Structure 1
Amino acid sequence: MHGLHILLVEEEYLIAADMEQTLRAAGASEVTIVANSASTASLDFSDFQLAIIEAKFGSAAAVALNDRLRAAGVAVVVTSADHAVQALFTDATPLYKPFDAPALLAACEAARRRDPSLTERA
């Protein structure tokens, strides 16, 4: 995570704050937190090397956000408590809720390894 700028899309403030703390402790240089997919409209995705997005079943906005992030060359981790949601995100790394800090970091590393060209952007 060293030096990465990470986009974190999570509507629950306490969960987002805990995730931010874990990511910063692992070396992330910056973590930008937004509450939902709609809040990302004005962001320049080229600023991010990794995104962690919360997805709920049937969330077309989260699917569209994932597609935009992947098109911009950003590695994506999708968090959800619903295992069926992961079928909508075949090109993202799944992280099932609830999860702990080691699982979060492992998913982030796995997402970065999925596409070797993404690791060059760090």
Structure 2
Amino acid sequence: MATAPAARAESSLPRPPGVAPGDPERGRQLVADRQRGLCLLCHSAPVGDARQQGNLAPPLAGVGGRLDEAELRLRIHDSRRVNPESLMPAYGVADAAPRVAQAWRGKTIFSAQQIEDVVAWLVTLK
């Protein structure tokens, strides 16, 4: 019995046309904001109170030395395109989480510009 070939993982995503380069300070604020992206629920990062940061996902310290902008952008936009079993939310995909409150259905967690801002900050973490 033949098995289907494994889906090929993507590795990068270019900046969308018409979206400005990111602002690292706005990106840092988005990562640190516990009401917006909730990045620190799973990740630790060189920002804020380290006691209130996650250890479920890889630390963000040094991520800019491991991944380039396009690789980071893809992981934030939809990490399942890199790893289909990823637990990370798809920040740039509307309807990525079907069981959310009606007010959030059909919306992305971050706009394309906010993703660029987060990417701009993450690449500074060498």
Q: Same fold (TM over 0.5)?
A: no
**TM-score normalised by structure 1 residue count:** 0.30
More strand by share: 1
Larger Rg: 2
Higher relative contact order (CA 8 A, sep 6+): 2
Q: TM-score, normalised by structure 2?
A: 0.29
